[in-house]
Structure formats: structure tokens, C-alpha cells
């Protein structure tokens, strides 16, 4: 009898210890009795009835998730490929585990649908340049919609938006053409500027030369005027004897010449008549 009781006690202890479960930190436990949810337990040591009950552990920690690349059509019918990353956490373990066969996949489909709607209302160039705006609008759009799955999205980010290879080639060609156009315009503007500066420099040189010539002519004219003025002043101050001496010098030079012609001033001609010999020659010449 004592052995039987001991066996029973041992079996009870084994059963008791077999029913002990540990729910880790930042987890909750969903207790199921005969396959039906009965209660939720927090982290720590938990007792369940083995065989009749089981514990499903659900993490409450922040979970990273990468959504693989998929295609979206923009408003102007351009195909782009996008990929996302997000962080989520479970806020309601019961909804997360029992209300959906795969709550995470349902959340991903919801986010994809909203992203298609947002980008589908944008043209290609607008979408490629509005990643921050798309992130903000997507976060606002999903809002609390994922609460139905017991999940809250903490952060969602569009990692890349890539046009299709055909569109990328067309964009590269357009970019090359724009660069060549910009370079041609810059070259033309540079040449025009160079011509403008060269013409301006030549004009400035011509103006400077003209000013220099005018200044030289003015200086020469001033010098001539000064010389004439001084000469005139000197002649005005000269006596009658100076001019008579000049006349005699001139007569001597003419007399020494090869011609027998003598030029005399009118007054000198009158005075020459006073010389007797000259007067006889003059009268004889008139007769």
C-alpha cells in the first residue's frame, strides 16, 4: 500500500512539473484548453494542465520586415519597381494569432495596396522625387488599420523606386541630351561673352588712341600758337633797323644770284631815286 501511494505521489509530482512552462521576457502566453483559447498569461513561470492545455508564445518585441520588390504603374503609365522595409510590433496577441491565419502577410498586402494607390496618383518624375512624401502619406494611410490584425506599424520606409530598364534608358538619353544642350548653351554664351569683351577692348583701344591723337594735336597746336605768339611779340618789339637789315641781306642774296633781277620794296624804290647815279639810270630806262 505504501509503495502504491508513493507511486501516485511521484506521478502527481511528475505531472505537476510537466505542467510548468516559462514565458520569456517581452512575450505573452496564450493558454488553450482542449484547443480553445482560455486566457492570456504574462512573462514568467506558468502552470498548465498537461495533455489538456498548451501555451502559444507570442513575441511583443519590435520586428523588422523587408517587403520584396514589386511593380507599380504610375499615373502616366510608367512601370517602376519598389521595395519597402518596416518595423511592427504585436499589440494584441489574441487578434494576432486567432483572427487571421497570417496576420503579417495580411499587413503586407494592406501596405502594398495603399502604396499602389499613392504612387498610382503620381506621375513618374513626381514619384521618383517624392520618397519622403510617399513615406509620410503611407504611414498616415495605414494608420490604425492594422489593429484588426493585432499589429501596429511603427515605421515604414520606401527604400527605392526604380523605373523599368526601358524607361531608365530613355531617361539616360534625355539626361545626356539635356547635358549636351546645357554645354552647348554655355559654350555659345562663353563665345558671345568673349566676342563682347574683345570688341569692347578694341573699342576702348580705338577711343584711347583717338584721345591720345587729339591730345597730341592739341599740344602741337598749343606749341605752334605759343611759338607764333612769341614770334609776333618779338617782331612787334623789333625796330625799323632790324627790318632794313633783313631787306639788305635779302637784296645781297639776290644780287649774288645768277639772275640780273633785283626786287625792291616800294619805299626803297622811292628812296633809290635819291641816289644820282640810280636816278640817271632810271630816267634813261624810261626814255
Which range has the top average pLDDT, 61-70, 193-202, 233-242? 61-70
Least confident interval from 39-43, 54-58, 118-122, 175-179: 175-179
| 217/47: higher pLDDT | 47
Domains of the chain: 2-59 (no CATH), 63-163 (3.30.479.30), 238-281 (no CATH)
Instruction: Assess contact for 85 and 159: CB atoms under 8 A.
Output: yes
Residue 167 predicted with pLDDT over 60? yes
Please report which residue ranges of the chain form alpha helices under DSSP H: 2-18, 93-98, 103-120, 124-128, 131-142, 165-237, 240-255, 266-272, 276-286
103-120 and 131-142 helices, crossing angle to 10°: 130
Name the average pLDDT for the chain: 80
Instruction: Assess contact for 23 and 57: CB atoms under 8 A.
Output: yes
**What are the tens digits of pLDDT across the range 93-117?**
999 999 888 888 988 988 888 898 9
| 281/161: higher pLDDT | 161
pTM: 0.55
Amino acid at each position: 500500500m505504501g509503495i502504491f501511494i508513493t507511486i501516485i505521489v511521484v506521478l502527481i509530482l511528475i505531472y505537476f512539473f510537466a505542467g510548468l512552462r516559462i514565458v520569456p521576457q517581452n512575450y505573452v502566453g496564450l493558454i488553450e484548453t482542449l484547443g480553445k483559447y482560455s486566457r492570456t498569461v504574462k512573462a514568467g513561470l506558468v502552470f498548465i494542465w498537461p495533455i489538456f492545455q498548451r501555451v502559444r508564445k507570442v513575441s511583443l518585441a519590435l520586428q523588422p520586415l523587408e517587403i520584396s520588390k514589386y511593380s507599380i504603374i504610375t499615373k502616366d503609365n510608367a512601370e517602376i519597381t519598389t521595395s519597402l522595409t518596416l518595423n511592427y510590433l504585436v499589440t494584441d496577441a489574441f487578434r494576432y494569432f486567432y483572427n487571421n491565419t497570417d496576420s503579417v502577410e495580411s499587413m503586407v498586402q494592406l501596405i502594398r495596396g495603399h502604396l499602389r494607390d499613392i504612387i498610382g496618383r503620381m506621375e513618374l518624375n513626381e514619384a521618383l522625387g517624392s520618397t519622403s512624401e510617399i513615406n509620410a502619406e503611407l504611414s498616415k494611410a495605414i494608420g490604425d488599420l492594422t489593429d484588426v490584425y493585432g499589429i501596429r506599424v511603427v515605421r515604414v520606409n520606401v527604400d527605392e523606386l526604380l523605373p523599368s530598364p526601358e524607361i531608365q534608358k530613355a531617361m539616360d538619353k534625355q539626361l545626356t541630351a539635356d547635358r549636351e544642350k546645357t554645354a552647348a548653351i554655355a559654350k555659345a554664351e562663353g563665345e558671345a561673352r568673349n566676342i563682347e569683351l574683345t570688341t569692347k577692348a578694341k573699342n576702348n583701344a580705338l577711343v584711347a588712341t583717338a584721345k591720345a591723337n587729339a591730345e597730341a594735336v592739341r599740344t602741337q597746336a598749343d606749341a605752334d600758337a605759343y611759338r607764333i605768339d612769341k614770334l609776333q611779340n618779338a617782331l612787334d618789339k623789333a625796330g625799323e633797323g632790324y627790318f632794313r637789315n633783313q631787306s639788305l641781306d635779302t637784296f645781297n642774296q639776290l644780287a649774288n644770284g645768277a639772275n640780273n633781277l633785283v626786287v625792291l620794296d616800294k619805299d626803297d624804290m622811292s628812296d633809290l631815286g635819291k641816289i644820282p647815279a640810280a636816278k640817271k639810270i632810271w630816267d634813261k630806262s624810261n626814255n
